[in-house]
Amino acid sequence: MKLTKMITLAASIIFGLGLSYPVMAEDGATIDEVTAKVKEAAAAIAKAADKEAAIKEFEGKSKTWAWKDTYVFVFTCKGDKAIAHPTLAGKTIMDLKDKADNFIFGGDTGLCKAAEQADGGWSVYMWPKKAGGDPSAKATFAMKVEGTDYEVAAGIYAEKKVENFQLK
């Protein structure tokens, strides 16, 4: 079976159908931690008088926004650019695809579409765990920063075992 079909099938079963994926988290970030941290980041940027200064806090490995095996990153769908991200900062993002030819930010299933949901949403794509490594399935929660053209997101790798995850 082609990799694309396997990813689509796995994503459909785990995420698209809203089925639970009952297993347990290890040392990695959990779905609940990712969701909470992204919501906290969106609120922090929205409340900041100086948005640019607030966004600078997401550059590098800030102890506030990077934890366990993940980090919050900032991007702008409208501006087609990654703002604060370890490997994508300053680059255009809307046409970026993974090795399975899925849009990461653009398209109907990318992070920009996920961020449009009222309380944020999830997107699944292939992403390497480290530069130059093989891509792995990654589930990422994204949300719009109120009153701005920015979005924030953080994710976990799908092989991380997550208790009772349901895509909403």
Please list the pLDDT of the chain residue by residue as tens digits (168 residues).
333 443 443 444 344 434 333 333 457 899 999 999 999 999 999 999 999 999 999 997 778 899 998 999 999 999 999 999 999 999 999 999 999 999 999 999 999 999 999 999 999 999 888 777 888 899 999 999 999 999 999 999 876 544 444 444
Buried b (16+ CB within 10 A) or exposed e, 93-108: bbebebebebbbbbbe
Residue 86 lies in a domain: yes
**Would the CA dihedral through 109, 115, 119, 125 be positive or negative?**
positive
Residue 168 lies in a domain: no
Residue 42 lies in a domain: yes
Residue 164 lies in a domain: no
Q: What is the pLDDT of residue 23?
A: 31
Q: What is the pLDDT of residue 158?
A: 78
Residue 95 lies in a domain: yes
Longest alpha-carbon distance in the chain: 51
Q: What is the pLDDT of residue 129?
A: 84
Q: What is the pLDDT of residue 2?
A: 39
DSSP assignment of 85-122 equals: -TTTTTS--TT-B-TTS-BSSSTTTSHHHHHTSTT-EE
Count of structural domains, the chain:
1
Q: What is the pLDDT of residue 26?
A: 54
pTM: 0.80
CATH of the domain at 112: 3.30.450.20
| Domain encompassing residue 60 | 3-157
